[in-house]
Amino acid sequence: MLISLVGYMGSGKTSVASILSEKLQCKWLDLDHEIENFEKIKISEIFKQKGEIYFRKLENQLLEKLLQSPEPMILSLGGGAPMFYNNMELLLERSESFYLFASPAELAKRLAKGKEQRPLIQHLSDDELPEFIAKHLFERNPKYQMAKYTINTQGLSPEQVADEIIQKL
């Protein structure tokens, strides 16, 4: 079985996937890490050197390939992957999908640190983050909500989120 985690930047996909992988003794792949391994440079550099469209095409291709895998695994997706992926039906069919929800205020708090690594928000000041995220999340929510389950991560540690996911499996 495949388990996919979707959600906005800072929603905890990577931390939760890593914990899930230990708890379930299951392989874990992170789509952003796969892209970085493939290109041999960081995501922020891919955006800078080759542009977002190049990144999205690669993201699409690698996701499509990973979803064909017969091997059980946990798959954490980058925050924008569901927006640009043109085969959401396959993702929903091939995986138990989870949307990790957090409010814009909470996400802004979490994202204030480490913004430099995230090309879509690195130009924003901490004061601009909450409004940007609120609008962006509003646009993205319909796609995230296509996931089979939504987990409200507000006030939960990544370990508690992982436990909620396990309960639903």
CA 122: distance to chain centroid? Answer: 17
Q: Nearest to residue 72, comparing CAs of 32, 34, 35, 28?
A: 28
Give me the long-range contacts of 35-40 (CB less than 8 A, separation at least 24): 35/59, 35/62, 35/78, 38/62
Q: Candidates 67-75, 97-105, 117-125, 157-165: pick the segment binding ligand S3P (CB under 6 A).
A: 117-125
Dihedral Cα 148, 149, 150, 151, nearest 10 deg: -150
Q: Which of 2, 9, 100, 107 binds ligand S3P (CB under 6 A)?
A: 9
Q: Which of 2, 4, 74, 79 binds ligand S3P (CB under 6 A)?
A: 79
Q: Which of 33, 42, 94, 118 binds ligand S3P (CB under 6 A)?
A: 118
Q: How far is the CB of 58 from ligand S3P (least distance, A)?
A: 10
- In a 3-state reduction of DSSP, which class is residue 74? strand
Is the separation of the CB atoms in 129 and 121 below 8 Å? yes
- Where residue 18 falls (left for φ over 0; alpha for ψ -120 to 50; beta otherwise) is alpha
Q: Which of 20, 28, 73, 80 binds ligand S3P (CB under 6 A)?
A: 80
User: Per CB under 6 A, does 147 bind ligand S3P?
Assistant: no
Q: Map residues 28-67 to x or -, x wherever contact with ligand S3P holds by CB under 6 A.
A: ----x----------x------------------------
User: Per CB under 6 A, does 104 bind ligand S3P?
Assistant: no
Binding stretches for ligand S3P (CB under 6 A): 9, 13-14, 32, 43, 78-80, 118-120
